[in-house]
Amino acid sequence: MTVEPQATNRSFWRRWLDQPFIRSIGGVGGAAGLSQLAAIAVAPILARLYPAEAFGQFGVIVAYCNIAAALLLFGLNDAILAADDEAAANQLLTAGVKISAVALVPAAIVSAFAVNEGYFGLAPLPIAALVVIVPLVFCLVLSSLLQASLARRLRFRPLAAGYIAMGWSRAAGQLAGGALGAAYGGLAGGELAGRAIACRTMAKGLAASWRDMLAMPRREWGATVRRYRHFPIQRTPSTLLSSIAVGMPVLMVTSLFGVGPGGQFSLMLTMLMGPVAIVQRAVGDTFVGHFGTRYRQDRGAGRRFAAGASVFALAGGAAAGAVLWLSGEWLFVLIFGPDWQVAGRMAALCAPWIALMLPVAALSQILIVTHRPGLKLLFDVAFVGGLAILQFLYQATARGDDALPFVRDLSLVCAAAYAFYIPLIAFALWRPGSVAAR
């Protein structure tokens, strides 16, 4: 009689662990974890090879490239996820590659002018940084298109392989650059190498005929782009604002307090975004594929699936925030040394921001499947508006050289923005849009 409950219990856990969604999270999450393990493993070494100023310059490059890549994507990565069939998804992938490649030329010219004049927060960079900036922008665009295509097809194995290749090749490149005394160029060059290798890995795993897609006539993919035009129209401003919101904090700290505090903040944010990336890739990428399949077949089943995933994600975010608040400073001193104590204090102050960002960033892809990209724009406007007001207040009052009060207020503004995002996601789940209505 004592065997029956144990057998039933084991059977329940077997069934739960054997669900395709859980297996997908385990596979992609494990790969994202291995990728971030590379960053965590080499971070203490990089902190001793590179000065804080190099991390500040590197943070400026990454922030700018992410913003430029968001503009060149034209929202087509999200359109791929929401496409009604595989033919439309292939046509949108073709359009994304071709349009972004052509747009890269004027983007390179604008970047050269911005670096030379010091616009967009690029004042700390020399003109030689363009050697890394231009190809890195294209790699970011291509990787986003490939990630969307693989997630839509539920091809998580090549997606996972791409994450692993990116993490370890980036770490190796940054270590080599630091050993050669390459300053910010070593960090940026390693980032470029990692992104390029990841793109190659994911492109091979897509199992698509690239020759046929690149030879596709413009009238064919152009008609599909026009059909899904609400994504370029609505999603491009939203994605651009989102990238500005992600990159703006580094630019704000650097412009207000210099590249030293900016480097402390950049390293801190890089380490905190590691867990966010794992959740986004493990839960977000697998969630959007499985949720999309369920939601297109049965909206009730899709909503129940999203509700369960939301509880799980919010509980995980709260736990992560508590750990960061209690031990952030101690962990940074332990791992990076006493020179990075300020970064640890910044990490603890960012606990509310991370606690909400972890779950909400993964769940936000509900807006893509439900054809409600306009709601994301509302969130991004509120987010960037809050950051802009904060920047204005600190510039007007000249708070001094201590960046910690600014980081505290920045964390609260970001946490409030993500809290505002939750009801928008719920609204999209119960009041979806449609392609035909656009």
pLDDT at site 14:
46
Q: How many helices (H) and strands (E) does the chain have?
A: 20, 0
Q: Which residues contact 124 (CB under 8 A, 6 or more apart)?
A: 56, 57, 60, 254, 259
Question: Is the CA virtual torsion 76, 82, 84, 89 positive or negative?
Answer: positive
Whole-number Å distance between alpha carbons of 275 and 347: 13
Opening angle at CA 359, ends 353 and 361, nearest 5: 80
Domain that holds residue 310: 19-430
Mean pLDDT to the nearest integer, 169-178:
91
Q: Which residues contact 45 (CB under 8 A, 6 or more apart)?
A: 175, 178
Helix (H, G, I), strand (E, B) or coil at 391: helix
Residue 148 in any domain: the answer is yes
Q: Which residues contact 110 (CB under 8 A, 6 or more apart)?
A: none
Whole-number Å distance between alpha carbons of 49 and 51: 7
Rg of the chain over Cα atoms, rounded to whole angstroms, equals: 22
303 burial (CB, 10 Å; 0-12 / 13-18 / 19+) is middle
Asked if residue 368 lies in contact with residue 432, where contact means CB atoms within 8 angstroms, the answer is no
Mean pLDDT to the nearest integer, 270-288:
68
Question: Quick one: which of 329, 261, 33, 271 has its CA closest to 160?
Answer: 33
Residue 1 in any domain: the answer is no
Token pair, residue 255, equals 């412009």
Mean pLDDT to the nearest integer, 388-407:
82
Residue 4 in any domain: the answer is no
pLDDT band at 325 (very low <50, low <70, confident <90, very high): very high
Token pair, residue 394, equals 């600190």
Query: Position 70: which residue type?
Result: A
Whole-number Å distance between alpha carbons of 25 and 16: 12
pLDDT at site 399:
56
Query: Position 100: which residue type?
Result: S
Whole-number Å distance between alpha carbons of 201 and 166: 9
pLDDT at site 24:
46
- Choice between 35 and 390, residue whose per-residue pLDDT is larger: 390
The pLDDT tens digits of the residues spanning 114-126 come to 887 776 666 667 7
Residue 118 region by backbone torsions, left for phi larger than 0, else alpha for psi between -120 and 50, else beta: left
Q: How many residues does the chain have?
A: 438
Asked if residue 47 lies in contact with residue 336, where contact means CB atoms within 8 angstroms, the answer is yes
221-225, 318-322, 357-361, range with the lowest pLDDT:
357-361
Whole-number Å distance between alpha carbons of 75 and 1: 59
Residue 278 in any domain: the answer is yes
CA end-to-end span of the chain, whole Å? 61
Query: Position 242: which residue type?
Result: S
Residue 5 in any domain: the answer is no
Residue 11 in any domain: the answer is no
Helix (H, G, I), strand (E, B) or coil at 309: helix
Whole-number Å distance between alpha carbons of 279 and 355: 12
The pLDDT tens digits of the residues spanning 235-269 come to 777 778 878 887 888 888 888 888 888 889 988 98
The pLDDT tens digits of the residues spanning 405-421 come to 999 999 999 999 999 98
Residue 273 in any domain: the answer is yes
Mean pLDDT to the nearest integer, 368-376:
77
Domain count, the chain: 1
Q: Which residues contact 120 (CB under 8 A, 6 or more apart)?
A: 64, 67, 114, 251
242-256, 284-298, 325-339, range with the lowest pLDDT:
284-298
**Crossing angle for the helix pair 156-179 and 184-205, nearest 10 degrees?**
160
The proportion of the chain whose per-residue pLDDT surpasses 70, expressed as a percent, equals 84
Residue 235 in any domain: the answer is yes
CA of 211: how far to CAs of 196, 206, 241, in Å? 20, 13, 34
pLDDT at 374 over 90: no
To the nearest 10°, the Cα dihedral for 108, 113, 115, 116?
140
Whole-number Å distance between alpha carbons of 191 and 112: 20
The pLDDT tens digits of the residues spanning 49-91 come to 888 888 888 888 888 888 888 888 888 888 888 787 888 888 8
pLDDT band at 3 (very low <50, low <70, confident <90, very high): very low
